Structure 1
Amino acid sequence: MKRPKILIVEDERKISRVLEIELDYENYETDVADNGKDALRLISEKEWDLVLLDIMIPELSGLEVLRRVRRTDEHTPVILLTARDEIHDKVSGLDLGANDYITKPFQIEELLARIRVHLRTPQVRKEAADLLTVGELSVNVSSREIIRDGKQIELTPREFDLLVYLLENKNIVLTRDQLIEQVWGFDYYGDTNVVDVYIRYLRQKIDKGFESPYIQTIRGVGYTIKELDK
């Protein structure tokens, strides 16, 4: 049976080592990151069944790591670990998409119980949520497979991220600034015309050769992807 994979993001070595030992004993596969940048790298490189994320870590805070992860991954369970017992931190974490939190010091039995709860979510629910569609166009977020009317389409990573965000907000008009922030990142300082360039790339691959386009320009506002009128 496959061992569930858990990423431990914790800069206090004694705590992360105890968590490694306990989780290994419970038959979980683990890896450790001790700062926010390494956490983001590991999260992007591998698939995880659950992430234990300390809020107070160097490089990038746990909340910032969570915010960036939730741009593209709404499903992997994240449990926040924090030494702070402040309502503000807990509310902020939950608002950003954390599934749960536990305040240090904690009993390992309680943490293990919470981990079991969040790993119990049926995989079929995640797979269904991973499939984004509009008309004859479907995108499987996990496998990155894109099909329109039976034809498989290949996209670059940035084109894929842009298409996914448009589909997640189907029928909603998105401004260039919104697309820049969500697809390129809040710290992107380039020209917003890059959005127009990538929309053109997407149209060449998604809409060209088909009778009606899904990607629509809303003059003076931005772009949307919408169901075609029948």
Structure 2
Amino acid sequence: MPHHEHVDKANAVRLLVVDDEPHIADLVATVARYEGWQAATAASGEAALATAAEFHPDIVVLDLMLPDLDGFTVLDRLRSSGAMVPVVFLTARDGTADRVAGLTRGGDDYLVKPFSVEELMARLRAVLRRSTGPQWKRSVLKVSDLAMDEDTREVRRAGRLVTLTPTEYELLRYLMRRSPAVLTKAQILDHVWEYDFGGRSNVVELVISHLRRKLDDGHQPLIHTVRGVGYVLRKAPD
């Protein structure tokens, strides 16, 4: 698990994931922490209500099918306690009635299992943008003259727009979020490709070379190779 000492804890999004399948809850929480968010998990409706009271989440991922209370009951109790926190439902059922009921009973979005975590995170970011929570800050990453707007996915180097593929964008975002930490190829593979490449570290080198060509054109290099370790994004020392 990466550390996030550089994350502004006061402004970090606080996510509560409620699902009785631990591997789903832990996966979502882990990905959220990679994003720099704070995350808590709960495996039942009662645990969710207790955790929400202490953790004060900015957004909740809530499975409809829980061992004790159903997701709608959890939502109703959250609302009756005065928490107007946005909620994204997870469900194994793709029934139209469920979808309408969820959204009309105060849920903000709806995702059917199985889902991709990337799509879930995109939905959460969209719901947060729509909600007016004072703690939600527009997320712009900056290293030297390189800037990435995580809302619009625009990347600029010295003001010039840089067009990236989704994979290039994700790798660059990971380097920027962790800067000035040095990241190993294994960490990059794990985060960007989620194990799919089985140790084929040459794919990392390939995408790094594409990024360098796009970012460093006529500028000081920002992506540096640390021999025997991996890569780091930082301004070269003067």
TM-score by length of 1: 0.59
Residue 61 of structure 1: how far off its partner (Å): 2.3
CA distance in structure 2 between the partners assigned to 1:78 and 1:158 by the alignment: 25
Is the CA contact 2:58–2:85 (under 8 Å) kept in the aligned structure 1? no
Deviations 1:95-138 (A, max 9, x none): xx997799954665541247425766326x421xx111111110
For residues 151 and 33 of structure 2, the distance between their equivalents in structure 1, rounded to whole angstroms, comes to: 14
Of 4, 8, 31, which aligns to 1:68? 31
1:216 maps to 2:211: no
2:84 counterpart SS class: helix
Query: For 1:142, what is the secondary structure of its paired residue?
Result: coil
Distance in 1 of aligned mates of 2:205 and 2:19: 36
Q: How does 1:17-96 map to 2 (within 5 A)?
A: 53-57=17-21, 61-71=24-34, 73-74=35-36, 80=41, 82-83=43-44
Shift of 1:223: 0.4
Aligned to 2:157: 148
- Per the TM alignment, residue 218 of structure 1 is displaced from its structure 2 partner at its CA by 0.5
Unaligned residue ranges in structure 2 (runs of 5+)? 1-12, 87-130
Please state if 1:135 is matched with 2:144: yes
Tell me the secondary structure at the aligned position of residue 186 of structure 2.
helix
CA contact (8 A) 1:132 1:140 kept: yes
Report if aligned partners of 1:180, 1:192 keep a CA contact under 8 Å in 2.
yes
Query: Which residue pairs with 1:169 in the alignment?
Result: 178
- Which runs of at least 4 in structure 1 moved beyond 4 Å after TM superposition? 49-53, 77-81, 97-104, 106-109, 117-120
Measure, in 1, the Cα distance between the counterparts of 2:158 and 2:195.
Answer: 35
Deviation per CA, 1:49-69, whole angstroms, max 9, x where unpaired?
Answer: 9987432249x6222233235
Structure 1, unmatched stretches of 5+, are 1-48
Aligned length: 168
Specify the alignment match of 1:21 in structure 2: none
Closer, same or farther in 2 for the Cα pair 1:114/1:186, shift >3 Å?
A: farther
Q: How far is the alpha carbon of 1:162 from its aligned partner?
A: 0.4
By how many angstroms is 1:164 displaced?
A: 0.4
**Residue type at the aligned position of 2:29:** L
**Conserved? CA contact 2:147–2:155, under 8 Å:** yes
Corresponding position: 1:225 with 2:237: no
Shift of 1:160: 0.2
Task: Please tell me the residue identity of whatever aligns with 1:121.
Answer: G
Q: Could you tell me how far apart the structure 2 residues matched to 1:53 and 1:114 are? A: 19
| Residues 140, 52 of structure 1: alpha-carbon distance in 2 compared, 3 angstrom cutoff | same
Equivalent residue letter for 1:126: K
Per the normalisation by structure 2, the TM-score is: 0.57
CA RMSD of aligned residues (A): 3.9
